[in-house]
Structure 1
Amino acid sequence: MSKPFAPPKIAPEAAATVKFWQQVRLRLSLILGTGVFVGIGIAADVAAADAVWALTFAAVVALGNSWVEVANVTPPEIPSHQTWLQFAAQSTLFLAKLTSGAAAALGVAGYLLSGLYHPAPIWLVPIALLVIVGLTRLSWRGRSLARLRRVTVMIAAVSLLGLIGAGLLKISQTSSAEAVLLAQANDRATPIALLQATTLMTAAYAGFESLAPQPNFRSARQLLSAIGLAIGLAWSLYLAVAIVGIQTVGAGVLGSSVTASAAPLVMVMRSLALPGGVYLITLGAVAAMSGMILSLLPQLTERLQHLNQAVSPPEAWPNQEAETLSPQLALGLVSLILSCILWVGDVQTIWSFSAFAFLLHYALMHWAALRQASAPRVCPRWLNGLGLVVCVGLAFWVEWSVWLVSLGLVALGLVWRGMMLWTDEQG
């Protein structure tokens, strides 16, 4: 009688290596999206040629913030939704993810229109709405997105490498006179503009949400290394694309194309005259940002369910399943909210909301970590303090209307929770 087939055993070291690279690929797939295809143009519009410095400073901020994403900032015996601070942090994360998804939908619409040579702005919002409806329907089926995520990352990487290769070839063939004229057109940014661009580009690296507390110090360190490597790879790619764009069409053209069509890299690819290049970069952008939205929809659905649980009275916490929104209803509400945000119509304004909300979320997470007295600490206390100062200092460099509306929405959520808890107590 033949023995049943048993899968080969994997050594612990090999299993840890496989898990590490899986984490790197996952983080990179979440980061690689609107940031490179739209965000670089926004940074160039604000900081001109100094957008490359804004990309670098934002990557450093993202590395510091990654510590609180894997640290246990709430004692395990106290659920995070029981504290007002954690409710505010999760509300800002929900707002940041929502606006990121809306910006991605506008980016998909912009690249479809520009890539197909129909850059009529009037169709931008309707096509973005169709994108949200179609991807919501696809997400409704609940199929695994792991294989799709790998495909979208590969398509995006091939398109960006094609743009970088063709761009470097053109730069090497540019005459000295043309290079001087382009350098004169790329003005340097003021310190204020550089800070504003750094603030906006922090959203480009925030492709991961708050993670569950790690079971031990070693696994947290491994996850930190994976996130750090993913951010480093994303920074290298962003930097290369930004240099090619600024050195071929100029920072002014790169920035103005965001307002006109939400597709700055199409303008760069057209200047390179690469056969089929416009269709290649369009395919990469649509694949990357559609994959990003598909990854965001389940996260937003789960986040909305958790926020709904957080307004339950304390005595109902042991039986929270009864208070949870159904996944279908939560997904429908998320899709409806995304559709409403799209009517803003300006991808740069929506991007500003996302950047402010992410920085406010990280600031609250650093504050929560500073209040934690339990040991061991994954994140050093001094890094939490520095991260809090940096995040608060950067957050308010966006337009005052953006942070005023964002703070109003967070305050409204806190008031809503307070009213629900008070009503339950009175009942």
Structure 2
Amino acid sequence: MSTPALQRRLGTVDATVIGLGSMIGAGVFAAFAPAAAAAGSGLLLGLALAALVAWCNATSSAQLAARYPRSGGTYVYGRERLGPWWGFVAGWGFVVGKTASCAAMALTAAAYLVPIGWQRPVAALAVVAVAGVNLAGVTRTARLTRILVALVLLALAAILLTAAARGPVRLAGLAEGAGGVYGVLQAAGLLFFAFAGYARVATLGEEVRDPARTIPRAITLALAGAVAVYAAVGAVLLLVLGPSRLSSSTAPLAEVLPPGGAWIAAVGGALASLGALLGLVAGVGRTVLAMARESDLPAPLAAVHPRRSVPHRAEIAVALVVVALVCTVDLRGVIGFSSFGVLLYYFVANLAAVGQPAAERRYPRVLQVLGMAGCAVLAATLPWESVVAGAGVVLVGVGYRWVRRRGR
């Protein structure tokens, strides 16, 4: 009897919106303050560098996804091009880092909506609700993501237009607090967290129609849209708040609004966090599915629902872990840790793409080399706590796989 498989149901618009919804998440509401603390008036330079590295990585992901249109993203590419250990390191870093990000997104959404005492139960309910949507089928995920992205963009447009109309623009403050080259690099590493969502398109590669054409196009469109949004938000925040005030703000988008208007930022932040959570749970579930297929995670997690064509056991397992995390720890400060895992993930993707033959190549090899170098530099300049935590997670994963394979 044949095993149920995932179905190719997503077109270019759906794939693009899922990637965009994953990128225009809580990062746009939370990542600018720590980035400004590192780079000061060099914030936009850090954003441009993060976008450049992300673009180089995107060319690798698009090129590889066209050749290997299966669930799992770089986990699959690393295994196919470099060997099982490379794939495992990428997949493990993604699953652990993004599971922590799921908890962070759920807690962030709850923080925008309810008082402190209610945040953990509301965050847990949000995870259950998102998992329920994903379990109903990938088209339901895409449909809800479209709605959330549209509402978040409306909220951001209202915030930016209101902020621009308020004035005065603080041009004189733009010379304050320049963070130097190291600060710009650190800001780029933190802001890279925001652009990592286009990986969701690649992890859903087995559910995209005409993947050789759709995935590269969706990755490019989603990344271009996210860069435009982040550039507009970053510029307005710098001009209205100035680097010093921005770096110390806990809710910068709320601060640029007049009294009584903070609810717009609260609703926008909650919806953006839920949109990111929706894409994250779907992406982590597909990567868990791919790792279970190769016995790098327990084999029962490789099951696909016969009617809804979703990796239901993997999705449920991810949701349960995230619920446990939001009920016990506060992971809203994991931007640096998540960035380390994602940078490692894309380092492997670039390394895998460098060796592709001419017949499979869509972009110049120099872009993959630049992407690899960019990932290494940005990872090395992250806050040392993030580097230590990320390296520790990788070592734990390597040990887990070694013990598991020895046992078999």
TM range (shorter): 0.7 to 0.9
- The residue type equivalent to 2:330 in the other structure is G
Quote how far apart the aligned CAs of 1:363 are: 0.5
Counterparts of 2:18 and 2:65 in 1: how far apart (Å)? 23
User: Among 268, 279, 282, which residue is 2:263 paired with?
Assistant: 279
Is the partner of 1:60 in helix, strand or coil? helix
Quote how far apart the aligned CAs of 1:203 are: 1.4
Q: Is the 8 A contact 1:70 1:211 kept in 2?
A: no
Query: Residue in 1 aligned with 2:58?
Result: 66
Q: Is the 8 A contact 2:69 2:211 kept in 1?
A: no
Is the partner of 2:359 in helix, strand or coil? coil
Query: Residue in 2 aligned with 1:46?
Result: 38
User: Among 387, 397, 400, which residue is 1:413 paired with?
Assistant: 397
Counterparts of 1:238 and 1:381 in 2: how far apart (Å)? 28
Structure 2 gap ranges (5+):
1-9, 71-75, 305-310
Q: Does 1:35 align with 2:27?
A: yes
Q: Is the 8 A contact 1:74 1:372 kept in 2?
A: no
Is the partner of 1:207 in helix, strand or coil? helix
* Aligned length, in residue pairs: 377
- Choose 153-162 or 137-146, whichever is displaced more: 137-146
RMSD over aligned Cα, in angstroms? 3.4
Counterparts of 1:129 and 1:250 in 2: how far apart (Å)? 36
Q: Is the 8 A contact 2:65 2:212 kept in 1?
A: no
Counterparts of 1:231 and 1:369 in 2: how far apart (Å)? 19
User: Among 150, 153, 156, which residue is 1:157 paired with?
Assistant: 153
Spell out the pairing of 1:384-395 with structure 2 (5 A cutoff): 384-395=368-379
Is the partner of 1:102 in helix, strand or coil? helix
Counterparts of 1:374 and 1:411 in 2: how far apart (Å)? 35
Quote how far apart the aligned CAs of 1:325 are: 5.4
User: Among 184, 187, 190, which residue is 2:177 paired with?
Assistant: 187
Counterparts of 1:86 and 1:308 in 2: how far apart (Å)? 13
Quote how far apart the aligned CAs of 1:220 are: 4.7
Q: Report the CA distance shift for 1:417/1:372 in structure 2 as closer, same or farther (over 3 A).
A: farther
Quote how far apart the aligned CAs of 1:22 are: 4.8
Quote how far apart the aligned CAs of 1:254 are: 2.8
Q: Does 1:136 align with 2:126?
A: no
Bigger Rg over Cα: 1
Quote how far apart the aligned CAs of 1:298 are: 2.3
Is the partner of 1:71 in helix, strand or coil? helix
Q: Report the CA distance shift for 1:72/1:137 in structure 2 as closer, same or farther (over 3 A).
A: closer
Q: TM-score, normalised by structure 2?
A: 0.80
Q: Does 1:203 align with 2:198?
A: no
Counterparts of 2:320 and 2:205 in 1: how far apart (Å)? 31
Q: Report the CA distance shift for 1:374/1:410 in structure 2 as closer, same or farther (over 3 A).
A: farther
Q: Is the 8 A contact 2:237 2:256 kept in 1?
A: yes
Q: Does 1:148 align with 2:151?
A: no
Q: Does 1:109 align with 2:110?
A: yes
Query: Residue in 1 aligned with 2:163?
Result: 167
Counterparts of 1:90 and 1:68 in 2: how far apart (Å)? 16
User: Among 241, 245, 255, which residue is 2:247 paired with?
Assistant: 255
Query: Residue in 2 aligned with 1:324?
Result: 302
Spell out the pairing of 1:239-250 with structure 2 (5 A cutoff): 239-250=231-242
Q: Report the CA distance shift for 1:35/1:402 in structure 2 as closer, same or farther (over 3 A).
A: same
Counterparts of 1:101 and 1:75 in 2: how far apart (Å)? 29
Q: Report the CA distance shift for 1:126/1:197 in structure 2 as closer, same or farther (over 3 A).
A: farther
Counterparts of 2:265 and 2:93 in 1: how far apart (Å)? 32
Quote how far apart the aligned CAs of 1:284 are: 1.8
Quote how far apart the aligned CAs of 1:198 are: 0.3
- The residue type equivalent to 1:287 in the other structure is L
Counterparts of 1:334 and 1:91 in 2: how far apart (Å)? 13
- The residue type equivalent to 1:308 in the other structure is A
Quote how far apart the aligned CAs of 1:73 are: 7.7
Q: Does 1:96 align with 2:97?
A: yes
Q: Does 1:368 align with 2:352?
A: yes
Structure 1 gap ranges (5+):
1-17, 314-319
Query: Residue in 2 aligned with 1:12?
Result: none
Is the partner of 1:145 in helix, strand or coil? helix
Query: Residue in 1 aligned with 2:4?
Result: none
> For 1:300-333, what per-residue CA distance to the aligned partner results, in whole angstroms no more than 9, with x for missing partners?
22222322333369xxxxxx97673574543343
- Choose 297-306 or 331-340, whichever is displaced more: 331-340
Counterparts of 1:77 and 1:53 in 2: how far apart (Å)? 34
Q: TM-score, normalised by structure 1?
A: 0.77
Counterparts of 1:332 and 1:230 in 2: how far apart (Å)? 27
- The residue type equivalent to 2:159 in the other structure is L
> For 1:30-73, what per-residue CA distance to the aligned partner results, in whole angstroms no more than 9, with x for missing partners?
22112212122232232223212211111111111001112238
Query: Residue in 2 aligned with 1:57?
Result: 49
Query: Residue in 2 aligned with 1:11?
Result: none
Query: Residue in 1 aligned with 2:7?
Result: none
- Choose 228-237 or 78-87, whichever is displaced more: 78-87
Query: Residue in 1 aligned with 2:386?
Result: 402
Is the partner of 1:61 in helix, strand or coil? helix
- The residue type equivalent to 1:192 in the other structure is Y
Is the partner of 2:64 in helix, strand or coil? coil
Q: Is the 8 A contact 1:85 1:368 kept in 2?
A: no
Quote how far apart the aligned CAs of 1:223 are: 4.3
Q: Is the 8 A contact 1:70 1:212 kept in 2?
A: no
- The residue type equivalent to 2:58 in the other structure is S
Q: Does 1:264 align with 2:252?
A: yes
> For 1:125-157, what per-residue CA distance to the aligned partner results, in whole angstroms no more than 9, with x for missing partners?
554344334433454455712221111111111
Q: Report the CA distance shift for 1:222/1:404 in structure 2 as closer, same or farther (over 3 A).
A: same
User: Among 323, 332, 338, which residue is 1:347 paired with?
Assistant: 332
- The residue type equivalent to 1:309 in the other structure is R
Counterparts of 2:242 and 2:125 in 1: how far apart (Å)? 33
Identical counterparts, % of pairs: 26
Quote how far apart the aligned CAs of 1:395 are: 0.7
